[in-house]
Structure 1
């Protein structure tokens, strides 16, 4: 029988020692991960992993993903969820049209999209991956154009949608540009070495699993934190409706999008081996 394997990551803080004194404080990301854990547990996944804030280091997440690749067999379902800041680093291997690599902002350092793709490429053919990334610039967790959406009207629109009644303190899940630049400058040798050590071939082209990503926003948008859940995760949970939702992944995505404000539009994408059968399945079903 197929098994379910869940890895759920949520960070409410990062280490200021790595990020130029910035702690990246958020409120709801750990709760987002906890809610994904609850779904996986209720769905009787055989393995459910939760990695929060200080434990969510680069080494720990790469180790967890390697373990999933070792364990998962054809037909198994890998639920991979991330809630936290999204960042950008200069593209060093010329595989990005905008010269920026996208990142997950982990506790002790950024995890580059190329590293995520390399880890996913280790999964066996026939493994199904359902991935949620509630972070900024997360449309594909690979291609992006930075856009600051704190302009006129954005906060008022979000205030109509979120639990949080205080729009003037709205938190977005982006790393400030000045912090991003200084973080790279202070750790340039480290990140350049990481990029230099990655395979020259595009790992996406070698991915044998089917990876279905529903992201928190488009590549050029920002994802919003909230008082109880991130905006994307909050609406995902409403559509899921404690397991009452019975449609396909595409229908699931469309219904989430309907609940979102125009400035944050969740994306839907497939990498690896296409599988219409997987797309037609109900989310979280092993």
Structure 2
């Protein structure tokens, strides 16, 4: 029997102390996390949620380390994130646009190099399923110029999006420059994407140059995913799942399908959220 562990992160706000007075309030991220945890539990995962103040850097890092220590070939780890996306300057030269994407956790940002480092702790043969309902999440690469131009439309439309404003990102980075540059210069986090031995599949809320919309009850991406999933009535693999979600999304938010680590076509063909493959 295969083992399934899942972790669901949802932040409706962040700590203004770290983010230079910005609370980053959102409406539906905690609900996203709770709903994805319910789907996971129904599918047979051991599910845990980290909501807002409990979604700290340390708690997420600890949960990832713990899961990696117990999962073996054939097991699955399911990770979801709903919250703001941010960016910090890329100090190790691995990003074409000179910026690392981040997840905005409550007490500080988790840099994409760190995310890949922790995914690299999982053993070969483990399946990693990641859903990220956050802005600029297509391949965890973020373009600041695009972010600035799109924010003008955000203001005009009055839609709440899950993007850290560029001016907040800059102030937060400058106030914590030593900390974030230390992450970028840490040899553990260099070329981490190439060191993943497990098979990781990401379905993101949007493309790199787009924003993910918040909502009243769910984010636009998570709500659409739930509609397609239809309480488990969906049939087909992950590519079909992504395609069905994509077909229901507006043109300005097109979820991405992204693979990293060891190729695993069998994993891609499984019904979403399948735990037992033995």
Residue matched to 1:71: 70
1:226 corresponds to which of 209, 212, 215: 215
Matches within 5 A, 1:50-129: 50-129=49-128
Residue matched to 1:9: 9
In 1, the alpha carbon distance for the partners of 2:110 and 2:227 equals 30
* Structure 1 residues 184 and 151, CA gap change in structure 2 (3 angstroms): closer
Residues 1:19 and 2:8 are matched in the alignment: no
SS of 1:234's equivalent?
helix
Shift of 1:170: 1.5
Shift of 1:151: 4.9
Q: Would you say how many aligned residue pairs link Structure 1 and Structure 2?
A: 272
In 2, the alpha carbon distance for the partners of 1:198 and 1:234 equals 39
Residues 1:235 and 2:224 are matched in the alignment: yes
* Structure 1 residues 149 and 201, CA gap change in structure 2 (3 angstroms): closer
Shift of 1:144: 2.5
Q: Deviations for 1:70-103, whole angstroms, at most 9, x for unmatched residues?
A: 0111101111000000001000101000000000
Residue matched to 1:149: 150
In 2, the alpha carbon distance for the partners of 1:23 and 1:119 equals 27
2:167 corresponds to which of 161, 178, 187: 178
Residues 1:209 and 2:198 are matched in the alignment: yes
Judge which range, 230-239 or 201-210, deviates more: 201-210
Query: TM-score scaled by structure 1?
Result: 0.92
In 2, the alpha carbon distance for the partners of 1:242 and 1:169 equals 31
SS of 1:149's equivalent?
helix
Residues 1:248 and 2:248 are matched in the alignment: no
Shift of 1:261: 0.7
Query: TM-score scaled by structure 2?
Result: 0.95
In angstroms, what is the RMSD of aligned CA positions? 1.4
Shift of 1:169: 3.3
* Structure 1 unmatched runs, 5+: 156-166
In 2, the alpha carbon distance for the partners of 1:186 and 1:221 equals 27
In 1, the alpha carbon distance for the partners of 2:215 and 2:77 equals 27
In 2, the alpha carbon distance for the partners of 1:117 and 1:43 equals 26
| Kept in 1: contact 2:117–2:189 (CA 8 A) | no
* Structure 2 unmatched runs, 5+: none
In 1, the alpha carbon distance for the partners of 2:187 and 2:213 equals 31
Shift of 1:179: 0.4
